[in-house]
Structure 1
Amino acid sequence: MGKRMLAFFRTDRLFSISLLLALIACFFGTFRWSFIDFKVILSLFGLMLVINGLEEAGLLRAFGQKLVEKSRNLRDLIRSIVLLSFFSSMFLTNDVAILTLLPIYLLLTRKEQQRTSVLLGAVYLIVAANLGSSLFPFGNPQNLFLFSYYQISLPQFMWTTGTFVGLSLLLLLVSIQL
């Protein structure tokens, strides 16, 4: 058991460094359990469970295959997956949308010869998830915190973020076309 853990920490250096820095910060900083918003963490955990259930049922893979069948070329596939990422992140959170769609996208494009275009599509997918999640309070943890902490009404929140979200969608679509 100890050798396996040591091998894990040697292999995953990013995790090891992050863990070490987190422990140092807890030791020298002022950490309190009250700093952790368990309501937000449990909400994200529940959403991830739902997505994992859909993935285990094979629905996500079947949906990915339908996207490929309907796409005429790589640009169409990228546009479809970016739009899916943009709109699904509004309801599933940006993290869940990325964790769900990026592996599907990479799996669908693994045989594609234009690797630069595939990489650009992955970047667009991630950007779209972060921009789309801005519309609703539950789209990302930061919005959930701001919405609950400042007690903003839903219409006021959506009015504030709606212009930004609409403009960002337009810019995403133009940039994919270019």
Structure 2
Amino acid sequence: MKNYISVFIIFSIILTFTSCGLFVKKVSFTKEELECFNVYKVNDIIIFQSLKTQQKDTSIIAYKSLNYQYNPIVADKRTQCMNVTYTNNKYSNNKNKTETLIFDCKDNNQYVLGLTYLKSNFKFDNTSVIKELETLSLYSKSFKNVHELKCKRMKFHGGTDDDPETLYWDKQYGIIKYITFKGEVWERVNW
């Protein structure tokens, strides 16, 4: 009987260590992969203005989190996840409602960063273009090596033509400009 108890205790200890993820490979974002996450701080305010109507659109970074997730049943890795959320006055009358800007978990070597802004999804992948120079017309401000990201909207997408189709991302300032599906240009006006 004592042998069964000692085997049970050893088995319980091993199970406890493996279920807590102590013997699991830790998968982390690289410095380059964290560049998008580090652009914004909580309470940063991002203001855009329409070139056509002069109307303004404000987003406020509400929450940032960088943590590890682990599921012992389906994974042998602890995956690192990044999460950035924001509020926006354009789509929500409720100031407490947040939307996700960045939520990604790195769980393999073929990681592709994605972001969502105003109900449009974008990916930093081989289809995104890096523009050598992008100039904003409202303040004549120029940026070098800007990512031009395109939203590939599905046929039965629930969005509108006011959603961004093209988004311009700068490594230092984040989103600097977006163009809607109906062609309206919105440029960032606060720096």
TM-score w.r.t. structure 2 length?
A: 0.26
Q: 1 or 2, which has the higher helix percentage?
A: 1
**Larger relative CO (CA 8 A, sep 6+): 1 or 2?**
1
Q: Which has the larger radius of gyration?
A: 2
